[in-house]
């Protein structure tokens, strides 16, 4: 079985250091993929930009 992880783009207080730590944890862990969701009802980071940072 493979497990993917969604990036925490909707988490309050997300900054560069937290995002990089999250991405490193995903990369080091047993995860097979990364995803980024989108919501149109409130402000959040763009999924494509976030994935390119990951």
pLDDT digits (tens, 9 = 90+) for 4-48: 998 888 778 888 898 889 888 988 989 988 888 777 777 777 777
What is the maximum alpha-carbon separation in the chain?
Answer: 34
What's the pLDDT score for residue 11?
79
Region of 13 (left: φ > 0; alpha: ψ -120 to 50; beta: rest) is left
What is the domain range of residue 32? 4-53
How many angstroms separate the CA atoms of 30 and 9, rounded?
Answer: 21
**Cα gap 24→18, rounded to integer Å:** 10
Question: How many separate domains does the chain show?
Answer: 1
Q: What is the pLDDT of residue 54?
A: 64
Predicted TM-score (pTM) of the model is 0.66
Q: How far is CA 54 from CA 1, 41, 42, 44, in A?
A: 23, 24, 22, 16
């Amino acid at each position: 079985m493979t497990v993917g992880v969604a990036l925490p783009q909707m988490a309050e207080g997300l900054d560069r250091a937290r995002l990089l730590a999250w991405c490193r944890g995903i990369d080091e862990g047993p995860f097979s993929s990364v995803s980024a969701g989108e919501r149109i009802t409130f402000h959040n980071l763009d999924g494509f930009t976030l994935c390119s940072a990951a």
